[in-house]
Amino acid sequence: MWHVALDALIDTLKLFPFLFLLYILIELMEHKTKVGKPSRALTSRWAPALGAATGILPMCGFSVMAAKLYEHRHVTIGTLIAVFIATSDEGLLVLLLSDGGIGWGPRLYALLAMIGCKLVLAILAGYLLDLFFKRRLSPMPDRTHAHAHGEHDEKWHTHVREEEHEMHEGHTHVHGEKEEDHDHGDCACDELSACEHKKESKVRLYLLSPLLHALKVAAFVLAVNLIFGYLFYAIGEARVIAFLQGTGYWLQPLLCPLIGAIPNCASSVVLAEVYTLGGIGFGGLLAGLTVNAGLGYLVLFKRGSWKKGLVILLAMLLFSIAIGYAASAIELAI
């Protein structure tokens, strides 16, 4: 039973560096820094294709990053969905490394077919969504966030200007070499103080604040991982596998997406394992892994609108079910 908590902790720790770097990137982007300028690629015409290619990598962190960037309106809905569709969590690794009932050749064929299908579907869906919405959900600055930082920066600049004004008056009205030297010493101290204040502000803005946000999200992710981990433990992975194996061929594209939508790494692993054991067909596996976006859904429901997150989840489910039935029909025809 302790291994469930350990697995949840390990999964969260693997995600934490992504979160920390992501929040640093968001701060750099929102403050128009030189480091943040390359982020324009996130809003270019290549963004959905870039998101799809990134999502193919077997890491759950990319779907979380896409959801956070969408929450801050730095990527479009098309790019977000492209990442979600392409993501397969650890399912692709199971297809590659599992020693289940099917041989190496069929597993390799299924792996390549899965990558190709998900990549094409992700790119097409991403561009069609951006075309349909005409990029109305294109990136916009977070006004509340920007206002807060703008107010802080304005206060700091006002403080610096006041210090410069006082130093200038002190230099103008001082008569005598000693007093003048004394005032120049004060000027140097004031400039040093302002410089130190600016450095402290940058450290707080680009390191401490992202670290705090990353820790909060990681704690939330750990709690959800524990809940679903113990849920799978209570039900039993063997029972889930047996249930999927016992379902009819044409029910698999309907039931597999319901399991794939569970925001936990175990869902993609179970689906891939059942496939390698011959329990489900390729259509069911494709449907389950298409809707599977790892922990990305958690971010949408945690900080975003519940209504918007629910719409995205339902749309992904319907799309995955349709793709699953289409793939099953083609599989039978071949």
Q: What is the 3-state secondary structure (H, E, C) of 271-307?
A: HHHHHHCCCCCHHHHHHHHHHCCCCHHHHHHHHCCHH
Query: Distance between CA 289 and CA 320 in Å, rounded?
Result: 8
CA distance 325 to 84: 19
Q: How far apart are CA 126 and CA 34, in angstroms?
A: 28
Nearest to 58 by CA among 102, 92, 33: 92
Residues of the chain with pLDDT under 50: 137-185, 187
| The pLDDT value given to residue 283 | 93
Spatial neighbors of 298 by CB under 8 A, at least 6 apart, are 64, 220, 221, 224, 263
pTM of whole model > 0.85? no
pLDDT at 101: 64
Compute how many other C-beta atoms are within 10 angstroms of the C-beta atom of residue 148.
11
pLDDT given for residue 147 in this prediction: 43
The pLDDT of residue 9: 84
Counting Cα atoms < 13 Å in the Cβ hemisphere of 79 gives 27
Distances (CA, A) of 114 to 63, 144, 178: 18, 41, 80
| 118 secondary structure, DSSP code | H
Contact of 264 with 306, CB cutoff 8 Å: no
Side chain identity, residue 103 = G
Closest CA to 273 of 54, 37, 93: 93
Q: Count CB neighbours of 57 within 10 A.
A: 12
279 residue type, one letter: G
pLDDT of residue 151: 44
Residue 118's pLDDT is what? 95
Q: Where are the alpha helices (DSSP H) in 174-264?
A: 177-203, 209-235, 237-246, 252-260
Distances (CA, A) of 74 to 64, 157, 212: 14, 27, 21
Residues 6 or more apart whose Cβ sits within 8 Å of residue 262: 228
pLDDT at 32: 60
In angstroms, the CA 282 to CA 198 distance is 57
pLDDT at position 127 is: 95
The reported pLDDT for the residue numbered 222 is: 81
Domain residue extents for the chain: 2-142+209-333, 143-208
pLDDT reported for residue 108 = 86
Q: What pLDDT sits at residue 39?
A: 58
